[in-house]
């Protein structure tokens, strides 16, 4: 969270540093309003016992500074957006969730491959108001990357999540390429919001169908921040923590976005692209070259997903090069992983997305929609038979996209989120490694999941 005092100090510093040399009055950029991208609040873990990381997470209403205004929101540890949790591979996390809300809550550790049972990524348990719950699990190897956490209460997630209950998890990995990567490393939480009378705007009836978007496009709680880079290479770790907004991002000039990871999983090699599309719940890590000394904007572009109000193309963040430019080095190899082999698939299933339903059924927690065996390899054909796009999420296991309407994807990657466009079929390959138990697959438009667009998967 940014306190009022902090942002004022930052404001004074940035105007002093920037306005004289760079601006003429005709400049379209309002330099007087330059705001440095705030660093996220962090959950402070006690690591005094080796191998253990202990902390508490308080879910409670709080007044926070959102884009320069004092607003009543729903928060974790009184921060907006939710504070960053840093975990390390191999350590045991003990996290006490304290519920001071007026409703049940719980935690989903989105993207992290944890058991969906017990004290781990158990979305079935409810923590009643005034109660606490002690989560405890070991962070598996190979999970290094950007993930996130949010509540996961059947039928009652969208409102508290829109009002602030969402935060990033950054797992420190043990990757060869990171040791050589000399960059300015930033976590950016993309979260839109609407404010009304000093509060977060409540849902309107129509938003339960199309999803609730906010007109303020915030990054780490502020609009249009600037990163004054400390290095000539910047690593942006982007999380879309919005309920419904699709963030399609491009640069304002022709430099590429160099993708390192999708959904917390690294690619085999850096992949230059023109744009990244972050659907709700998705993450991406990209590298940005600033060694030529030119500033560049990150530009939001509307997506033609049906049903939504139109948001104009707009710059949402500026990257300013460092004062001392250096030559940058790009890693050539990131990680290795086995490709999904279609010939090894033991099942081929169709998953049909309809309006608020999956395979024409609304969620029933007691019903198992798909049952499979641990270590099975399966192909799912996720087909959108509805009139709007839906972002598809599978808990616990990442998947590879095999093809989209029969066309192979431009490069190999592993995902836990993917957009399924109207009339499209996305074929995914899943290896149900390691974990057993009941978990879920669903549309991640929070309003759609609340309306029942979720289904139960059981791995035995
Ligand atoms: Cu991020 Cu089942 O959700
Ligand atoms: Cu949906």
- SS3 assignment, position 17: helix
pLDDT band at 224 (very low <50, low <70, confident <90, very high): very high
pLDDT at 34 (0 to 100): 84
Number of DSSP helices (H) and strands (E) in the chain, helices first: 5, 33
Give me ligand 1 centre to Cα 393, in Å: 7
Would the CB of 145 count as within 6 Å of ligand 1?
no
Whether 395 shows a pLDDT value over 90: the answer reads yes
Dihedral, 84, 86, 87, 93 alpha carbons, nearest 10: -60
Closest CA to 319 of 22, 36, 19: 36
Would the CB of 152 count as within 6 Å of ligand 1?
yes
Dihedral, 318, 323, 327, 332 alpha carbons, nearest 10: -40
d(CA 329, CA 291): 10
Q: Mind listing the pLDDT tens digit for each residue in 244-262?
A: 999 999 999 999 999 999 9
- Range 323-333 average pLDDT: 94
Residue having the nearest C-alpha atom to atom 3 of ligand 1: 110
Would the CB of 440 count as within 6 Å of ligand 1?
yes
Whether 23 shows a pLDDT value over 90: the answer reads no
- Range 156-173 average pLDDT: 97
pLDDT at 11 (0 to 100): 36
Whether 414 shows a pLDDT value over 50: the answer reads yes
Lowest mean pLDDT among 20-29, 121-130, 207-216: 20-29
What is the pTM (predicted TM-score) of this model?
0.92
pLDDT band at 108 (very low <50, low <70, confident <90, very high): very high
Give me ligand 2 centre to Cα 389, in Å: 7
Q: Hey, which residues does 226 pair with through a beta bridge?
A: 36, 318
- Range 310-335 average pLDDT: 95
For 398, counting Cβ atoms within 10 Å of its Cβ (0-12 exposed, 13-18 middle, 19+ buried), the class is buried
Residue having the nearest C-alpha atom to atom 1 of ligand 1: 110
């Amino acid at each position: 969270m940014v306190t009022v005092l902090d942002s004022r100090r930052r404001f004074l510093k940035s105007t002093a540093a920037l306005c004289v040399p760079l601006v003429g009055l005709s400049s379209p950029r309002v330099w007087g309003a330059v705001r440095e991208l705030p660093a996220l609040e962090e959950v402070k873990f006690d690591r005094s016992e080796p191998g253990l990381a202990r902390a508490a997470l308080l879910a409670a209403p709080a007044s926070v500074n959102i884009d320069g205004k004092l607003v009543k929101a729903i928060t974790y540890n009184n921060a907006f957006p939710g504070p960053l949790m840093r975990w390390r591979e191999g350590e045991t996390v003990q996290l006490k969730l304290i519920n001071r809300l007026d409703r049940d809550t719980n935690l989903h550790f989105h993207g992290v491959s944890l058991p969906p049972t017990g004290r781990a990524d158990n979305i079935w348990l409810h923590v009643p108001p005034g109660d606490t719950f002690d989560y405890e699990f070991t962070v598996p190897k190979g999970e290094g990357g950007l993930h996130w956490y949010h509540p996961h209460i059947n039928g009652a997630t969208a409102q508290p999540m829109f009002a602030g209950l969402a935060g990033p998890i950054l797992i420190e990995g043990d990757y060869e390429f990171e040791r050589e990567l000399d960059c300015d490393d930033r976590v950016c939480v993309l979260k839109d919001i609407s404010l009304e009378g000093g509060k977060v705007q409540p849902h309107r009836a129509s938003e339960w169908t199309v999803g609730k978007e906010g007109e303020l496009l915030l990054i780490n709680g502020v609009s249009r921040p600037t990163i004054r880079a400390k290095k000539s290479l910047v690593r942006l770790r982007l999380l879309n923590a919005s309920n419904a907004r699709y963030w399609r991002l491009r640069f304002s000039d022709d430099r590429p976005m160099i993708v390192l990871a999708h959904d917390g999983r690294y690619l085999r090699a850096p992949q230059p692209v023109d744009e990244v599309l972050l659907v709700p719940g998705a993450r991406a890590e990209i590298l940005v070259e600033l060694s030529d000394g030119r500033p560049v904007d990150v530009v939001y572009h509307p997506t033609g997903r049906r049903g939504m109000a139109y948001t104009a193309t707009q710059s949402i963040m500026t990257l300013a090069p460092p004062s001392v430019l250096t030559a940058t080095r790009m890693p050539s190899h990131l990680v290795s992983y086995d490709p999904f082999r279609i010939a090894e698939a033991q099942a081929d299933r169709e998953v049909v997305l309809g309006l608020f339903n999956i395979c024409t059924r609304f969620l029933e927690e007691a019903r198992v929609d798909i049952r499979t065996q641990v270590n099975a390899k399966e192909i799912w054909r996720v087909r959108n038979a509805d009139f709007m796009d839906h972002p598809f999420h599978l808990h616990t296991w990442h998947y590879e996209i095999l093809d989209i309407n029969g066309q192979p994807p431009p490069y190999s990657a592993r995902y836990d989120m993917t957009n399924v466009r109207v009339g499209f079929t996305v074929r995914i390959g899943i290896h149900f490694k390691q974990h057993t138990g009941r978990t879920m697959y669903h549309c991640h438009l929070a309003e759609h999941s609340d309306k029942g667009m979720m289904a139960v998967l059981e791995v035995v």
